[in-house]
């Protein structure tokens, strides 16, 4: 089993009456790219702020590497929480040199991190001439300059065009391949599916789900179906999308095979001349559930 790098226990943050993070439990293991997924206002930034020691928890706790968070443990963590302050008239290289000095990091790391974020060719240009994507990449470079074990990113692709988004995703994968553990907040399921290995879903500060990303597309729908027809049972078994069929309280429960949905079953029955009197999707795939959570307005 991989080592636990972060353990969160009942972490809570109240802002007055508003509970921004509600009894959150999470575990992140070494080598994971862990996504914190949730719609706007679900508590992602507040959670990351607590983990970085910039927001005080109302209650609960967390530990890094099995120890309570201290200045020393935080030195092993690099974070891009908000747009960091860079000097506009200095080059990317000079900004990173200043950064390394402030953090007591080895300046020899600078060339490597510039390479990772693909800014080596532009390192001598002034920061103010950088595109938004380049600024974001320099922020990642600055978080990496002290060679942290863990990298925390809050919505790293926000505001970028598709090209910029793709670049950041490649960089995140490269950093993960380099052996770092990454914690990344996002409101996009697609982003989490593309770059994360594990993830948690937050909704109004509450944990709705956590697990490996490859589970997301899985999980079958169960469709409740009823029709006044003697052969319904036989026909349900004929349907190619049926995995198992049960009858409960006079209603058929059809567990669908992966990729089949209630509309497929409805169409099949209709083509057989059967009009259902009852047709309800009961269990939805995780993907559908999350898309519904993410689409919630706040
Ligand atoms: N300093 C603060 N004072 C009062 N309320 C706050 C403060 N910071 C955050 N909140 C509230 O806490 C809730 C969670 O906010 P948070 O920024 O953590 O969400 P988020 O998931 O990061 O959202 P987004 O996707 O918009 O970045 C929101 O309702 C927000 O208004
Ligand atoms: Mg946020």
Summarised one tens digit per residue, pLDDT across range 114-166 is 999 999 999 999 999 999 999 999 999 999 999 999 999 999 999 999 999 99
* Ligand 1, atom 11, residue with closest C-alpha: 20
The CATH class that applies to domain 222-282 reads: alpha beta
Locate the domains of the chain by residue range: 4-215, 222-282
Q: Find out whether 114 and 102 touch, Cβ atoms under 8 Å.
A: no
| Contacts of residue 109, Cβ cutoff 8 Å, sequence gap at least 6 | 100, 144, 145, 146, 147
* Banded pLDDT at 176 (limits 50, 70, 90): very high
The phi and psi torsions of 125 (rounded to 5 degrees) equal: -80, 150
CB 42 less than 6 A from any atom of ligand 1: yes
Orientation of helix 132-144 relative to helix 92-103, angle to 10°: 30
Residue with CA at minimum distance from ligand 1 atom 16: 43
pTM of the model: 0.81
At 228-263, the pLDDT tens digits run 888 899 999 999 999 889 888 889 999 888 888 899
**In what order do the strands lie in the sheet containing 4-15?**
18-29, 4-15, 59-64, 67-68
Nearest CA to ligand 1 atom 12: 20
- Give the number of other CB atoms < 10 A from CB of residue 64: 21
Q: How far is the CA of 294 from the centre of ligand 2 (A)?
A: 13
- The overall average pLDDT reported for the chain is 91
The DSSP secondary-structure symbol of 126 reads B
| CATH number, domain 4-215 | 3.40.50.300
């Amino acid at each position: 089993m991989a080592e636990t790098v972060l353990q969160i226990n009942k972490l809570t943050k109240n802002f007055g009456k508003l509970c921004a993070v509600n009894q959150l439990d999470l575990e992140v293991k070494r080598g994971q790219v862990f996504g914190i997924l949730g719609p706007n206002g679900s508590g992602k930034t507040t959670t990351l702020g607590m983990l970085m020691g910039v927001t005080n928890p109302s209650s609960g706790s967390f530990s890094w590497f099995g120890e309570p968070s201290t200045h020393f443990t935080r030195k092993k963590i690099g974070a891009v929480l908000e747009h960091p302050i860079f000097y506009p008239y200095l080059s990317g290289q000079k900004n990173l040199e200043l950064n390394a000095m402030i953090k007591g990091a080895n300046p020899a790391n600078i060339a490597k991190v510039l390479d990772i974020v693909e800014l080596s060719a532009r390192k001598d240009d002034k920061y103010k001439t950088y595109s938004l994507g380049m600024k974001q990449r320099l922020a990642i470079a600055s978080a990496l300059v002290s060679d942290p074990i863990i990298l925390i990113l809050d919505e790293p692709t926000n505001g970028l065009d598709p090209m910029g988004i793709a670049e950041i995703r490649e960089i995140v994968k490269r950093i993960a391949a380099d052996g770092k553990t990454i914690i990344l907040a996002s409101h996009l399921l697609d982003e989490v599916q593309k770059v994360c290995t594990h993830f948690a879903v937050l909704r109004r500060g509450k944990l709705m789900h956590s697990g490996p990303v490859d589970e997301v597309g899985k999980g079958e729908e169960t469709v409740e179906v009823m029709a006044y027809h003697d052969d319904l049972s036989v026909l349900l078994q004929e349907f190619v999308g049926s995995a198992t069929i049960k009858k409960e309280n006079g209603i058929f429960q059809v567990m669908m095979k992966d990729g089949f949905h209630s509309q497929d079953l409805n169409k099949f029955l209709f083509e057989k001349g059967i009009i259902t009197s009852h047709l309800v999707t009961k269990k939805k795939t995780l993907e559908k559930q999350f898309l519904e959570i993410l689409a919630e307005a706040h």
